[in-house]
Amino acid sequence: MRTIQPEGWPQPKGYANGVAGSGEVLFIGGQIGWNENEEFDSDDFVDQVRQALLNTVAVLEAAGGSAENIARMTWYITDKREYLASLREVGAAYREVIGRHFPAMAMVQVVALMEDRAKVEIETTALL
C-alpha cells in the first residue's frame, strides 16, 4: 500500500487523504465497543473506541492480516463533542491498538447506532 498525498496540500493528522494498493480486499462490518460475547464492559467513549478497534484487528487477524493492512475506515459516532473532548485519549487508544498506521478515514456523527449503548461504530476495508 502507498499513501496518496496531493502536492501542496497540508499533511493530514491521523489519517491519509488516499491509499492505493492491491491484493485481496477484506470488508469488515461495523465493529462497536462490545466484547467478543456481545456485552459492553464500559459506557466510556474511549473504552468503546479501544474495544471497537480491538474487534477490528481480531477480524483482520482471522483473515490472516494485521492493522497495517487497513486501507480505509469510516467511524460513526453519536456525539461529536464527546469525541472532540477526548481526542488525546482516542489518539492514544488508536496508537495502542493500530499503531502509527493511518489509512484513509472519514468520521460521521449519527443520531443513534443500532445497539443503544454503542457510542461508536467503525467500518473498515483492508487489503491483504
Asked whether the predicted pLDDT for residue 14 surpasses 90, the reply is no
**pLDDT at residue 17, as a whole number:** 87
In the beta sheet, which residues pair with residue 121? Answer: 32, 76
Mean pLDDT for the chain overall:
96
Query: What is the CB neighbour count within 10 angstroms for residue 7?
Result: 4
Asked whether the predicted pLDDT for residue 13 surpasses 90, the reply is no
Closest CA to 120 of 80, 85, 71, 72: 80
Please compute the mean of the pLDDT values over residues 69-82 and round it to a whole number.
97
Inter-residue contact 62 to 26 (CB < 8 Å): no
Confidence of residue 89 (pLDDT cuts 50, 70, 90): very high
Residue 15 in grid coordinates: 489519517
Please compute the mean of the pLDDT values over residues 36-50 and round it to a whole number.
97
Inter-residue contact 104 to 15 (CB < 8 Å): yes
Q: How far is CA 107 from CA 52, 84, 115, in A?
A: 14, 12, 18
Q: For residue 1, give the 3-state DSSP assignment.
A: coil
Report the C-alpha gap between 71 and 3 in whole angstroms.
9
Confidence of residue 121 (pLDDT cuts 50, 70, 90): very high
Q: What structural domains does the chain harbor?
A: 23-99+106-127 (3.30.1330.40)
Please compute the mean of the pLDDT values over residues 61-89 and round it to a whole number.
97
The angle formed by the CA atoms of residues 44, 77 and 24, to the nearest 5 degrees, is 110
Confidence of residue 125 (pLDDT cuts 50, 70, 90): very high
Residue 59 in grid coordinates: 477480524
